[in-house]
């Protein structure tokens, strides 16, 4: 397809295309609050609040501070989200500026209300579905070679067994549409550092981070329909694969994927992998899919623009919840 587009552009250039600035009568839209929050039963609730801008505005997108953010469970207020200080030295999760220690439960309906002077208040509701358990799990390992840096910056090659292929059984409940996300996380050692007077970097602290492992798969349920020459599909930027049960509704399905060792971090000597099957709300699924599609088609003037799913009343964004089942695999 790219060949076609290139040829087409070549033809257009041959016909000396030119550009003109045009006025389009688009009604001015005041800034609205944007709320973004995916929350699961495996983590406390956090949310990002920012504001939208009119399409002609060239100002940078801004976050919203001093907002009142309230969480309701089944119609009752259960928490107020406070502004969360971001540690600039250490990348921490959750990443939103508003957070609470409250951990939601499966099977409950949650509402997030955000108000801020100068903006219309916004509200979004989601239901956290019960988790679909991991029915079975198989895997194999391969020896992998990693480059390990020591505190002086020297590199040594380290060979360690690593988790390779994984077969994850999903016992999908029938009679309803379900949406899933599969991700693999493991701890890796990271460090913070500073530059001394001589320009050398000095490690000031080491710590463990639970980080997603990049995944690839040939499984048809994660087939991305935008590639001309097919190869293995890579998981989303988040490191997770997301799919619906459209082709295995009500059946036991074994999803096959493997860990992308090339991009992997050096595993610890005894690696513990957390293999997670998240049961997503439809809103989360639609939102991620539509954002991904919009970004993919952004530079193609002939593709129909993709509207992004939005479940925030009076504003923009997404508030959606998921439940999860986690299996742990230890590779020694």
Partner 1 sequence: MRKILLALLPISTLLGISSSVLAQKYTVSGYIKDATNGEVLIGANIFDLKSSSGTSSNTYGFYSLTLPKDSMNLVYSYVGYQPQAARLQLTQDTVINIELSESALLDEIVISATEADKIQEVTQMSSISVPVEQIKSLPAFLGEVDVLKTLQLLPGVQSGNEGTSGLYVRGGGPDQNLILLDGVPVYNASHLFGFFSVFNADAINNVNLIKGGFPARYGGRLSSVIDISMKEGNMKEFHGEGSLGIIAGKLTLEGPIVKDKTSFIISGRRTWIDVLARPLIRSQTDGEETVGYYFYDLNAKVNHKFSDCDRLYLSAYLGDDRFYARYKYEDTFSGVTLEDEDESGLEWGNITSALRWNHMFTPKLFSNTTLTYSRYRFDINNEYRYEYLNDSGNGVLVDQGLARYLSGIEDFAAKIDFDYIPSPQHYVRFGVSAIRHTFNPGALNVRYDDETSNENINTTLGSQETEAIEFAAYAEDDIELGRRLKFNIGLHFSGFQVNDKFYTSIQPRIAGRYLLNEQLSLKASYVQMAQFIHLLTNSGIGLPTDLWVPATDRVRPQTAQQWALGGAYNWKSGYEISLEGYYKDMRNLIEYREGASFIDVNEDWQNKVAVGDGRSYGAELLIQKKQGRTTGWLGYTLSWTDRQFDELNFGQRFPYKYDRRHDLGIAVVHQWRKRVDLSATWVFGSGNAITLPTAIYGGIGSSFFGSGIYNYGERNGYRMRAFHRLDASITFRKQTRWGERAWVLGVYNAYSRRNPFYLYLDESSDPSRESQFRQVSLFPIIPSISYRFNF
Among 152, 302, 330, 332, binds partner 1 (CB under 8 A): 302
Q: Which of 296, 314, 316 is nearest to 304 (CA)?
A: 296
Among 106, 293, 326, 329, binds partner 1 (CB under 8 A): 293
Does position 217 bind partner 1 by CB under 8 A?
no
Nearer to partner 1, 52 or 162 (CB): 52
Does position 87 bind partner 1 by CB under 8 A?
no
Nearer to partner 1, 38 or 273 (CB): 38
Q: What does each C-alpha distance from 107 to 40, 129, 155, 180 come to in angstroms? A: 11, 5, 49, 16
Nearer to partner 1, 205 or 232 (CB): 232
Q: 12 is written with which tokens?
A: 């257009």
Q: Which residues partner with 126 through β-bridges?
A: 110
Q: Which of residues 57-86 bind partner 1 (CB under 8 A)?
A: 57-61
Phi, psi of 303 (to 5 degrees): -85, 145
Q: What is the DSSP letter of 154?
A: -
CA distance 239 to 278: 13
Does position 12 bind partner 1 by CB under 8 A?
yes
Does position 116 bind partner 1 by CB under 8 A?
no
| Interface stretch with partner 1, choices 10-18, 72-80, 85-93, 205-213 (CB under 8 A) | 10-18
Q: What is the DSSP letter of 263?
A: G
Does position 150 bind partner 1 by CB under 8 A?
no
Nearer to partner 1, 228 or 262 (CB): 228
Contacts of 296 (CB under 8 A, 6+ apart): 226
* Shortest distance (Å) from residue 297 CB to partner 1: 5
Does position 295 bind partner 1 by CB under 8 A?
yes
Q: Which of residues 230-269 bind partner 1 (CB under 8 A)?
A: 230, 237-238
Q: Which residues partner with 216 through β-bridges?
A: 234, 258
* Shortest distance (Å) from residue 18 CB to partner 1: 5
Contact 69, 36 (CB under 8 A): no
């Amino acid at each position: 397809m790219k060949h076609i587009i290139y040829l087409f552009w070549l033809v257009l250039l041959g016909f000396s295309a030119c550009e003109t600035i045009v006025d389009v009568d688009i009604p001015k839209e005041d800034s609205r609050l944007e709320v973004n929050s995916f929350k699961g039963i495996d983590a406390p609730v956090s949310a990002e609040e920012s504001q939208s801008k009119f399409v002609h505005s060239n100002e940078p997108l801004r976050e919203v501070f001093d907002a009142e953010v309230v969480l309701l469970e089944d119609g009752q207020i259960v928490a107020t989200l406070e502004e969360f200080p971001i540690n600039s030295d250490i990348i921490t999760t959750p990443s939103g500026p508003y957070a609470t220690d409250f951990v939601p439960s499966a099977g409950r309906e949650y509402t997030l209300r955000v108000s801020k002077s100068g903006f219309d208040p916004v509200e979004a509701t989601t239901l956290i579905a019960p988790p679909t358990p991991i029915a079975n799990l198989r895997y194999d390992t391969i020896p992998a070679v990693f480059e390990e840096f020591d505190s002086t910056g020297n590199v040594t090659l380290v060979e360690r067994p690593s988790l390779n292929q994984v077969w994850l059984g999903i016992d999908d409940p029938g009679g309803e549409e379900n949406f899933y996300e599969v991700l693999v996380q493991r701890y890796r050692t990271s460090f913070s550092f500073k530059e001394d007077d001589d320009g050398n970097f000095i490690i000031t602290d080491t710590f463990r981070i639970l980080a997603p492992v990049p995944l690839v798969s040939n499984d048809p349920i994660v087939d991305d329909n935008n590639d001309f020459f097919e190869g293995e599909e890579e998981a989303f930027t988040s490191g997770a694969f997301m799919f619906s049960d459209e082709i295995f509704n009500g059946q036991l399905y074994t999803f096959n994927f493997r860990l992308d060792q090339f991009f992997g971090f050096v595993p610890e000597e005894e690696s513990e992998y957390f293999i997670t099957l998240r049961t997503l709300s439809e809103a989360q699924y639609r939102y991620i899919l539509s954002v991904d599609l919009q970004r993919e088609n952004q530079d193609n003037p002939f593709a129909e623009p993709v509207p992004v799913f939005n479940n925030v009343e009076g504003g923009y964004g997404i508030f959606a919840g998921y439940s999860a089942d986690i299996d742990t695999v230890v590779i020694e």
